[in-house]
Structure 1
């Protein structure tokens, strides 16, 4: 799997209409060249939620300020992630749910935000559709093991406190902040017509609400750890810059530790840079047929983990224990009988997950 080092990152934009390929080169650049300040992304040197540093480096890519999060007592810290409700979840989203559920089972307080308003404004989906999807997502998260009594499982529509805080944060935001917060593959998705090609007002509101999600947690917790895909690292940066401007003229505090943990992005099928709900052929989703799932997983002939959607899914869903997952790197490279058997078993597991939807 790709490695990372502690440096900054360049605001290198993709060529319009061309996808960013989330290869080893991309990961190296994302931790090496960040032109807009020292945004350190570090490899793991500590254990978290029962996962050793080695396993964290296998399952995830990197972190920012993880040490500050760990130094905060458990009672005063929280891990959060969230999903847009633009369509039924694909297996990359499932992996995020399984990851935060793993943290919760190890005793961390956790939150999942179901982005119904995000999908409505940011992706142009009808409000009725996104609210219905949020209800289904909530039930799906519970079936995958997330405990909404021990943790927080909520949508955006009903959280009026977070919506009020969005307005308060608006006093400290500038139009220029939003232009620097584009997802790395935005221009590619815009070329396909699945998102607005400009930073429209409704996209700004969607992004500001995500920032408010994070800041609102910081009002009651001394440390917030955001779990996202590495392509979304600019969202956390956006939030941090605004939170640092908070002063005595607001009821909000910005002196909490905002940390982040980033997962590797699951390579998409059909040559797509990542699995995306917006591009159905790129992914396996909960509405894929068993035949499609078997065909895509067993038909994956890539010989390196970075190029293999099947290996990345196996790794990120915790389908095999750490040591077995490491050992399978060689089997993936050779296409051994064990690797073919593992892909078949992985396909059946993903089918069982799909049936929970």
Structure 2
């Protein structure tokens, strides 16, 4: 398989999100490094120590943190190619916690993204959006205090996507290709090239960010670190706004990047489209227990189970520090914790409508 854009081979091996990958991204794009000094401020009810544990890095989140609370908002979203896995649930939980600390929050249910980017039937994306909404609310997200919406019914974002088009360049779309695109394309999960429908999905995602910037002075996007190029895409386009642009680009667009959960069975991360890569709401309860118990990795940074523990609101920061030690020791407390955690995951699974 070759890259239709450049005539080069498409990489079908996964990009593993190791520390080397993280530091490469940090060096290339100027993000804050992942170490204990990475956050030197608190945010959304989380101390800097807990931020350093639960998140990888941020881009200009310090500017968001000093903006008046009434003029700032945190947003995230999901491309709904299928029912959610537990890494998706962990993202919702992060938003629930931030909302509970008083932050204005938005969750976008990417029905049109799934329709275009993943070529899902329209009726299927309608149904999934309704179920994701219920799931988010059952996990604790308050749609009255925050924003919980699909894409198809939000006319302002669709209009702004068209207005953004005037300021895009071919290179913007090519530069926004996900690092693991070749891995997914080789498995027939996504289009090999940057097709028009994939461009529409990317442009609408950027418009979701920019549309918030018409109301708020500071927008903080919560994403996995593998999606950092999407924020850069939006930033590059808004920098080109001129006097003819009917929408503004003079707002702060920041990003808070979560670590990615290593996938089971050697996959780079949890994926709704790759069976066996993660635990989803459709994984049988006994299979959840088996997968959790069989994780005997003694390196917490590489353990799919420990990573999921600290991504979800499973326990306190102090407990996580203890569990980190138990995972490395692979002791009886770790085995006992895995049993408790598998029960927790089954509970989350049962919240899916």
Query: Equivalent of 2:152, from 153, 157, 161?
Result: 157
Matched, 1:57 2:52: yes
- SS of the residue corresponding to residue 329 of structure 1 reads helix
Q: Check whether the contact 2:31–2:57 (CA below 8 A) recurs between aligned residues.
A: no
Query: Equivalent of 1:315, from 310, 313, 316?
Result: 310
Deviation at 1:40, TM superposition (A): 3.0
Give the alignment of 1:62-101 within 5 angstroms: 62-101=57-96
Deviation at 1:307, TM superposition (A): 1.1
TM-score (norm 2): 0.95
- SS of the residue corresponding to residue 197 of structure 2 reads helix
Q: Check whether the contact 2:172–2:233 (CA below 8 A) recurs between aligned residues.
A: yes
Instruction: Measure, in 2, the Cα distance between the counterparts of 1:28 and 1:305.
Output: 18
Instruction: Measure, in 2, the Cα distance between the counterparts of 1:95 and 1:344.
Output: 19
Deviation at 1:171, TM superposition (A): 0.5
Instruction: Measure, in 2, the Cα distance between the counterparts of 1:305 and 1:14.
Output: 34
What's the counterpart of residue 10 of structure 1? Answer: none
What's the counterpart of residue 356 of structure 1? Answer: 351
* RMSD of equivalent CA atoms: 1.2
Instruction: Measure, in 2, the Cα distance between the counterparts of 1:270 and 1:131.
Output: 31
Query: Equivalent of 1:208, from 199, 203, 207?
Result: 203
Q: Check whether the contact 1:226–1:259 (CA below 8 A) recurs between aligned residues.
A: yes
Instruction: Measure, in 2, the Cα distance between the counterparts of 1:281 and 1:14.
Output: 26
Query: Equivalent of 1:335, from 317, 322, 330?
Result: 330
Q: Check whether the contact 2:25–2:31 (CA below 8 A) recurs between aligned residues.
A: no
Instruction: Measure, in 2, the Cα distance between the counterparts of 1:216 and 1:14.
Output: 37
What's the counterpart of residue 20 of structure 1? Answer: 15
Matched, 1:273 2:268: yes
What's the counterpart of residue 224 of structure 1? Answer: 219
- SS of the residue corresponding to residue 248 of structure 2 reads coil
Instruction: Measure, in 1, the Cα distance between the counterparts of 2:31 and 2:267.
Output: 28
Q: Check whether the contact 1:66–1:261 (CA below 8 A) recurs between aligned residues.
A: yes
- SS of the residue corresponding to residue 147 of structure 1 reads coil
Instruction: Measure, in 2, the Cα distance between the counterparts of 1:89 and 1:156.
Output: 18
Instruction: Measure, in 1, the Cα distance between the counterparts of 2:9 and 2:73.
Output: 33
Number of matched pairs: 341
Q: Check whether the contact 1:305–1:332 (CA below 8 A) recurs between aligned residues.
A: yes
Query: Equivalent of 2:288, from 284, 293, 305?
Result: 293
Query: Equivalent of 2:31, from 32, 35, 40?
Result: 40
Deviates more, 1:13-22 or 1:212-221: 13-22
Instruction: Measure, in 2, the Cα distance between the counterparts of 1:15 and 1:326.
Output: 40
Instruction: Measure, in 2, the Cα distance between the counterparts of 1:254 and 1:334.
Output: 50
Instruction: Measure, in 2, the Cα distance between the counterparts of 1:269 and 1:80.
Output: 28
- SS of the residue corresponding to residue 75 of structure 2 reads strand
- SS of the residue corresponding to residue 195 of structure 1 reads coil
Deviation at 1:33, TM superposition (A): 2.7
Instruction: Measure, in 1, the Cα distance between the counterparts of 2:245 and 2:229.
Output: 25
Matched, 1:302 2:289: no
- Output one character per residue of 1:135-156: Cα deviation in whole Å (capped at 9) or x when no partner: 0000000000000000000000
- Structure 2: gaps (5+ residues): 1-7
Q: Check whether the contact 2:90–2:312 (CA below 8 A) recurs between aligned residues.
A: yes
TM-score (norm 1): 0.94
Deviates more, 1:276-285 or 1:216-225: 276-285
What's the counterpart of residue 257 of structure 1? Answer: 252
Matched, 1:241 2:236: yes
Deviation at 1:14, TM superposition (A): 10
Change in CA separation of 1:277 and 1:109 when aligned onto 2, cut-off 3 Å = same
Instruction: Measure, in 2, the Cα distance between the counterparts of 1:333 and 1:279.
Output: 28
- SS of the residue corresponding to residue 270 of structure 2 reads coil
What's the counterpart of residue 3 of structure 2? Answer: none
